[in-house]
Amino acid sequence: MATIFSKNLRFLRKQKGWGQDELAKRTNRSQPTIQLWESDKRSPTMEMVTELADIFNVDVNTLIYKDIESGNCSKNGYTADNNLIPSDITSLEEAMQVIVNNPSVAFYGGYDINKLSDEEKIEFANWIADSIKLYARKFGK
């Protein structure tokens, strides 16, 4: 499951002719961190996304929602062939996928995912998914 952000980060970095080590130097991060962002195993903070947008001279929305290479846009920030937000999350695996792909919700909400039971993780993921769907309906144009 690839986010448009991770695809764009890799594309823009390569377009500049930089290796992951060069981007790491420019962001004061490690090369493994850049690799994790590009492989969708970790997500940077919004502050870092803003810094990356500045480095590559694109706006944040473009970096997150527009596949720069193809020109396609996505309202949820994920490539069109993926179904990030299941309609009803019933398994721990689905729940963790939603939680992992939305780390800022837990981080800024002060939740410690490691202290939640499996049932609480599923409930939390459904809450995240419902919130995303609500905002998508409200602000989607």
- Domain residue ranges in the chain: 4-65, 92-139
> What confidence score (pLDDT) does residue 3 get?
77
Radius of gyration of the chain (CA): 16
Report the CATH number of the 4-65 domain.
1.10.260.40
pTM for the model stands at 0.54
For residue 128, give the amino acid letter.
I
Q: List per-block mean pLDDT (blocks of 10 residues) for the chain, which spans 141 residues.
A: 80 95 96 91 86 90 79 55 57 72 64 78 78 67 49
What length does the chain have? 141
DSSP 122-140: HHHHHHHHHHHHHHHHHH-
